[in-house]
Amino acid sequence: MGYKVVDLFAGVGGLSYGFAHDDDFTILAANEILKPMAMAYSLNHPSVKMYNKDIKDFSLQDLAQDLGIKAGDVDIVVGGPPCQAYSTVGKRLIDDPRGKLFQEYYRIIKELQPRLFIFENVKGLLSMQGGELIRQIISLFASLGYHMNMEVLNAADYGTPQMRERVILVGTLSERPFVYPAPTHYNPELGVPENSGLKPYITLGEALGDLPSIQSGESATHYACEPQNEYQRMMREGFVGEIAEHKTAKNNPNMVALMKALPDGGSPKDVAEELRPKSGFANCYCRLWWNKPSTTITRNLGCPSSSRCIHPKDARPLTTREGARLQGFPDSYIFYGSRGDKNLQIGNAVPTFLSQAIKDSVKRYLAEE
């Protein structure tokens, strides 16, 4: 059976991906409130008991009743309470029920008493309420007897073709400090580290280069070529059949003209004035770079007016499949529901390569006990 894991705020299984793909771990149960997300999780992890309900209504009692689990049976709990509420500082956090989700996470940790837990969140959590919120969260978990460790990890440092920084809190019952995973990749823009043996960051072009070029409103189901590199081979491993989700919505002609005019990595400032949108933030209507990792993708990865998500070569935003690739989900991974549902499943996920790196550190840590 190995180490037993419970997955909270599970999404489509990004944070638990590494644990799900290692025989030394068994994910017993997962909780996810959104129906399409829970469906997608179950399609990819049919052996995991899925609780598709509000976290407030989920407890050790469910696990005891259905799986015979009692306090102390679970080794690891993983979860990232949704952070939309944390993103607005001040009074709104108090009024927003989502801001209370970390207290539900705390309640379940208190009930299950795992040996170790992982709490993942946005980097912005550190500056909210002038750092008061993160202090509150840490002292709450410490009050249960957990030794708290905290780092900000960038998924690009672990082989993800995307710059995505996340706060990773690890609570352990043992007093030994938790050792976070060492980076495997480096940012070539900062120079080459000497004798490190690190590989350069994976670029968007390396991640997506074998997917066919399509234009606004088009779709394609066949690869453009054989895998050109290790990353593409990993994404296609064991997958045969037609590519799913490689299609885009039809944008209006003005939008297409703007996207066509953008240079690699360009913004509306780089195009003729008559093509520029009348409004929008500085990072909206922007093209990604072919020879760099993607910027952080969001649930709006298919919407050109959202934060930078326009394909570096084609005049269109990213497709759902391209978003999945940039998060490290293999082409065989299934998403469920409408296009909006699927893009939410992808945009909210923890990249799989970051999950695998964290899992390796957890495994080393527990093996030393």
Q: Residue 104: which CATH number?
A: 3.40.50.150
- Kindly tell me if the per-residue pLDDT of 142 is higher than 80: yes
pLDDT tens for each residue of 149-171: 999 999 999 999 999 999 999 99
22-60 pLDDT, tens per residue? 999 999 999 999 999 999 999 999 999 999 999 999 999
Inside any domain, residue 251: no
Average pLDDT of the chain to the nearest whole number: 93
269 burial level (CB within 10 Å; 0-12, 13-18, 19+): exposed
Whether residue 199 is predicted with pLDDT greater than 60 in this model: the reply is: yes
Does the global pTM surpass 0.85?
yes
Provide the number of structural domains found in the chain. Answer: 1
Buried b (16+ CB within 10 A) or exposed e, 12-51: bbbbbbbbbebeebbbbbbbbbbebbbbbbbebbeebbbb
Confidence of residue 92 (pLDDT cuts 50, 70, 90): very low
Residue 308 in any domain: the answer is no
Q: Is residue 18 part of a domain?
A: yes
Residue 197 belongs to a domain: no
Active-site residues: which are they?
83
Structural domain boundaries, residue 140: 3-185+351-367
Q: Residue 349 has which token pair?
A: 């996920």
Asked, for residue 306, whether it belongs to a domain, the answer is: no
Q: How far apart are CA 320 and CA 299, in angstroms?
A: 10
User: What confidence tens digit (pLDDT) does each residue in 238-276 have?
Assistant: 998 999 999 999 999 999 999 999 999 999 999 999 999
Per-residue confidence (pLDDT) for residue 364, from 0 to 100 = 98
In a domain, 10, yes or no: yes
| Residue 102 included in any domain | yes
Instruction: Flag whether 320 is in a domain.
Output: no
Q: Coil, strand or helix: which one is 173?
A: coil
Question: Which pLDDT score, from 0 to 100, does residue 283 have?
Answer: 83
